[in-house]
C-alpha cells in the first residue's frame, strides 16, 4: 500500500513538472529570431511593421512584416533596412510629442 502511494505521489509530481517546464522555457526564449535573410527591398507602403530582433538572438537583424502578413528578415548591416527602421521609428517619436 505504501509503495502504491509513493508511486502515485511521484506520478503526480511528474505531471506537475511536465506542465510547468514548457511554460518556464517559453518565458526565457526570445520572441523571434532570424536565420535566413532577404536582400530584396519591399516598397515602404507594403510594410506594416519593422522591428529589431531580440538581443538574445544569434544574429542582429530587422524583422519586417508586410501588410499581407508575410515576415522577412534583413541583416542589421543592410542599409535599406536601417533607413526604413529609422524612418518608421523617427516618425513615431515625432508624432507622439505633439
46 and 79 share one domain: yes
77 and 38 share one domain: yes
Identify the pLDDT of residue 22. Answer: 56
Domain count, the chain: 2
25 and 73 share one domain: no
What is the spatial distance between Cα 78 and Cα 43, in angstroms, rounded to a whole number?
Answer: 15
**Residues spanned by the domain of 53:** 31-98
Report the predicted TM-score, pTM, of the whole model to 2 decimal places: 0.61
20 and 52 share one domain: no
Are the CB atoms for 49 and 65 separated by under 8 Å? yes
pLDDT tens digit sequence for 63-88: 999 999 999 999 999 999 999 999 98
Residue indicated by cell numbers 515576415: 71
36 and 25 share one domain: no
Segment 13-28 mean pLDDT: 58
20 and 39 share one domain: no
Give the three-class secondary structure for 73.
Answer: strand
Average pLDDT, the chain: 80
Q: Which long-range contacts (CB under 8 A, 24 or more apart) does 90-98 make?
A: none
Are the CB atoms for 44 and 84 separated by under 8 Å? yes
Amino acid at each position: 500500500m505504501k509503495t502504491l502511494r509513493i508511486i502515485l505521489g511521484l506520478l503526480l509530481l511528474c505531471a506537475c513538472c511536465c506542465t510547468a517546464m514548457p511554460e518556464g522555457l517559453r518565458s526565457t526564449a526570445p520572441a523571434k529570431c532570424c536565420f535566413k535573410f532577404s536582400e530584396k527591398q519591399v516598397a515602404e507602403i507594403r510594410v506594416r511593421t519593422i522591428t529589431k530582433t531580440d538581443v538574445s538572438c544569434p544574429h542582429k537583424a530587422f524583422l519586417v512584416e508586410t501588410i499581407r502578413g508575410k515576415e522577412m528578415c534583413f541583416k542589421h548591416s543592410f542599409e535599406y533596412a536601417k533607413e526604413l527602421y529609422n524612418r518608421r521609428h523617427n516618425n513615431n517619436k515625432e508624432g507622439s510629442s505633439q
